[in-house]
Structure 1
Amino acid sequence: MNQLNPGEEAVGRLFPNFATDPDLYLYRIEPIQGTASVMVMDEAAYNAARFMNKDIVSLDTLGANIPLFRVTEYAQARTAPARPVHFILHPSHTGSTLVSRLLDATGTTLGVREPWPLISLAELQDDLGTKHSVVSEQDYGILRDSLVTVWSRVFRPETTGVVKATSHAGRAVPDILRTHAASRAISLTLQPEAFITALLARQNPIRELLGFSIERMKRFQRRFGDLAQPVHAMTPGEHAALAWLVERQVEHDVLTARETKDRVIDVDFDTFLDRPAEELGRIANHLQLGATDAAVEAAATGPLMSQYSKAAGQSFTPQMRRALMEETRQVRGGDIARGMAWLEQIAKTSPAAAALLG
């Protein structure tokens, strides 16, 4: 008789409550293979996770691979109405991890930071209706709705699931908002020059930007036309400008669309840092979290505001960020200027791009 390993045994014990309880985190989906990976996570593990992708897997992880249809089957069979799940949209490096952690600190949310299946969903959405799509529109809708149900699960009834999208996976969120009327979102942003500076402040920005620019350029061409040089010819500042333009378009779409505009608010991260308690309260109120003024104030004035949100215990204050931004402007001013010139040139020939630049 085959004996189950500890991970399979734990999954088997928890899976009957999969549709309602978050103890089994849906770590990954593989639509082509028709499999899903689930792992055991308690509330403390959710709260500690920086990104909920391969970073959270360790040698001690308890989990198993299961048929993907089991995920959709259980999610569809949920008898009680699913709770709303809300979203944080952002173009990267606009404080999304900090805001997610601050919301958790108010005691009213369960943050799901950058779930890997959302990236897979975005990739599937890109191909819908094409000959090479591996899922039908009907099956895509079932998977999308099942994932929303999974992200809506919480440990405590007074909390609400809030998904912080990976920046380039945010393109899947507009469709989720259109098809789930109870879901709301915040749109984190920076002004173009500040955003380009923030991205170029990294030690080796081109390493991060180049891979994402391949997919972003495809979206750029679909939305704005054949107006830019190829990815290989772009400078670091231009890569950063491309990221701002393409991801800001996603935010603009939900901020202006008739079906979603009343459920999304825009939040400038520099403004947030100037008055964190006020802006955090505005976010909590918009998401209808029921956070008290005292809880918001405690979160906004607590230790999270002086730490690097992606590395617990590492000091990083708003003052340190401002100093880093000014140093980057001094050191990489030419790259920043080239990024801004790229945006201005695109705006001259694209009314859609001009609208984003205001």
Structure 2
Amino acid sequence: MTNAPPLSPMAQAFAKGPGWFPQQMDAATDRVLLVRMTEESYREASFLDQRMLSQQSQPQWADWAELETADQTSRSDADFIFHIGHVGSTLISRLLGELDGVFALREPQILRNFADLATDRNAPHAIWSPVQFDQRLETVIRWLSRGFTPQDRAQIKASSFVSEIAAPIIGDQRKALLLSVSPKRYLATILAGENSRQELAMLAPTRLKRLHQRLGGEDWNLWELDEPVRAAMSWLCEILALEDARKIAPDDHILWVDFDAFLAEPSEQLTDIARFFGYPHDADTIAGLTSGPLMTRYSKAPDHDYSPDLREKLLAEAHGTHQDGIDKALTWLNDTASRYPKVAEALANHSGT
């Protein structure tokens, strides 16, 4: 019998914990990109994607099979934040990350890799079989569940389009916070900013593909949808993904929060979220967080000011500029709801204000 080759120093270092982070994978070559991380670098990072890469992070590729062999951690108890995009998920992740024992990770790119593969999960040309896809997703969740101490509990804030795989990630064991806003507020939010509009243009093709798959038809051509309707389509795509996750998860494993409701009562809402996940907290800590600097900074780029009042001003300006387009997009949503019961249900659940 041939002995297995010894593990590389990198694989051995990876097995020790989150000091080496599995930032992304290359499914075609079966490799994982590892980057060097400290507790402080995790705390500071708004995105664990390509924007974090630098010489200091010492990126190195490693074989998937070797990492899987090296790391035998049994933890897979990470908590999750799923959302539809631009609904305060980074802010809430940062607030929760200040609580004792909460190890916050924001937008790991490796989960995006799985979301991209999921659209072809059952196709003949898929790289992995459906069984292997599920097994490898569980492996990644184990990797992301590791903390620097046994008391750490990983809190993973996914990218918006990772909602496509929210259902298998949550399953019947993990807990997840689901964040949304009403269609009207979402449309104004997207149309209010240049960056969000660019992101809308980039993600619209994939979101329409996902929406068609979820509804079982091909009702729309992307080139016929103008920008506000594309935003409405994006809201619908991500809401339906989260609704599907909600329907299969145990009721006590899902907490749905409207971001506008959160901003109206941040202390009460943050207390409810911490209690839902079982995170240690007290009234003074919660009050300090929700009256502190995190609430007045742009969470994705903390060097910039961004308060609830400024948000309301920008949304009001967007309504003034884009009201006709917003009205057209809401009509598109209502027309779609008249043909698809699951869309009507989602609109009823998230009509908001």
Q: Using structure 2 for the length normalisation, give the TM-score.
A: 0.92
Which residue number in structure 2 is paired with residue 235 of structure 1?
226
Deviation at 1:195, TM superposition (A): 0.8
The alpha-carbon deviation at position 68 of structure 1 amounts to 1.4
Question: Out of 245, 252, 262, which is 1:254 matched to?
Answer: 245
Give the counterpart of 1:66 among 62, 69, 80.
62
Look up the match of 2:156.
163
Q: Specify whether residues 12 and 72 from structure 1 end up closer, same or farther in structure 2 by C-alpha distance, changes over 3 A only.
A: closer
Match in the other structure for 1:107: 100
Aligned with residue 136 of structure 1, among 129, 132, 154: 129
Q: How does 1:136-215 map to 2 (within 5 A)?
A: 136-178=129-171, 181=173, 183-203=174-194, 205-215=196-206
2:109 is aligned with 1:116 = yes
Mapped partners of 2:94, 2:51: distance in 1: 17
Tell me which residue corresponds to 2:4: none
Counterpart of 1:16 in structure 2: which amino acid?
A: Q
Following superposition, the deviation at residue 146 of structure 1 comes to 1.1
Match of 2:340 in 1: 350
Q: C-alpha separation between the residues in 2 aligned to 1:161 and 1:219? A: 28
* AA in 1 matched with 2:30: G
Structure 2 unaligned regions, length at least 5: 1-6, 349-353
Counterpart pick for 1:224 among 211, 215, 223: 215
Q: For 2:267 and 2:15, how far apart are their aligned partners in 1? A: 35
Equivalent runs, 1:37-76 vs 2, <5 Å:
37-75=33-71
Return the alpha-carbon distance in structure 2 between the equivalents of residues 225 and 344 of structure 1: 18
Match of 2:280 among 280, 284, 290: 290
Match of 1:276 among 258, 261, 266: 266
- Offset from partner CA, 1:277-330 (integer Å, 9 cap, x none): 111111111111222333222221211001010111211111111111111111
2:53 maps to a residue whose letter is V
Alignment RMSD, CA only?
Answer: 1.8
Return the alpha-carbon distance in structure 2 between the equivalents of residues 135 and 122 of structure 1.
13
Distance 1:149 1:20, change over 3 A: farther
Tell me, in whole angstroms, the C-alpha distance in 1 between the residues paired with 2:54 and 2:13.
24
Measure, in 1, the Cα distance between the counterparts of 2:342 and 2:328. Answer: 20
TM-score (norm 1): 0.91
Amino acid corresponding to residue 268 of structure 2 in structure 1: E
Supply the distance in 2 between the matched residues of 1:49 and 1:22 (Cα, whole angstroms): 14
Question: Does the 8 Å CA contact 1:110/1:162 hold for their aligned counterparts?
Answer: yes
Matched, 1:244 2:235: yes
Provide closer, same or farther for how the CA distance between residues 21 and 205 of structure 1 changes in structure 2, counting only shifts above 3 A.
closer
Compared CA separation, residues 187 and 295, structure 1 to 2 (3 A): same
| Structure 2 residue 308 is matched with structure 1 residue 315 | no
> For the Cα contact (< 8 Å) 2:99–2:279, is it kept in 1?
no
- The offset of 1:226, in angstroms, is 3.7
The one-letter code sitting in structure 1 at the alignment partner of 2:332 is: W
Q: Which residue of 2 aligns with 1:333?
A: 323
Per-residue deviation, 1:14? 6.1
Runs of 4+ that moved beyond 4 A: 11-14
What's 2:351 paired with? none
Deviates more, 1:198-207 or 1:39-48: 198-207
Change in CA separation of 1:17 and 1:297 when aligned onto 2, cut-off 3 Å: farther
For 1:66, give the aligned amino acid.
Answer: A
CA distance in 2, matches of 1:337, 1:226: 25
Q: Distance in 2 between matches of 1:116 and 1:132?
A: 23
- Letter of the 1:328 counterpart: A
The one-letter code of the counterpart of 2:14 is F
CA contact 2:200–2:230 (8 Å) conserved in 1: yes
Deviation at 1:31, TM superposition (A): 1.1
How many pairs does the alignment contain? 342
CA distance in 2, matches of 1:49, 1:249: 29
Q: Among the aligned pairs, what percent are the same residue?
A: 26
1:117 maps to a residue whose letter is I
Aligned to 1:3: none
Distance 2:169 2:42 in 1: 22
User: What secondary structure sits across from 1:297 in the alignment?
Assistant: helix
Deviation at 1:333, TM superposition (A): 1.0
Where 1:332 maps in the other structure, the secondary structure is: helix
Q: C-alpha offsets along residues 2-47 of structure 1, whole Å, 9 cap, x if unaligned?
A: xxxxxxxxx9656425345110011110111111110110011001
- CA spacing shift, 1:126–1:226, aligned 2, 3 Å: closer
Instruction: Structure 1: state its 5+ residue gaps.
Output: 1-10
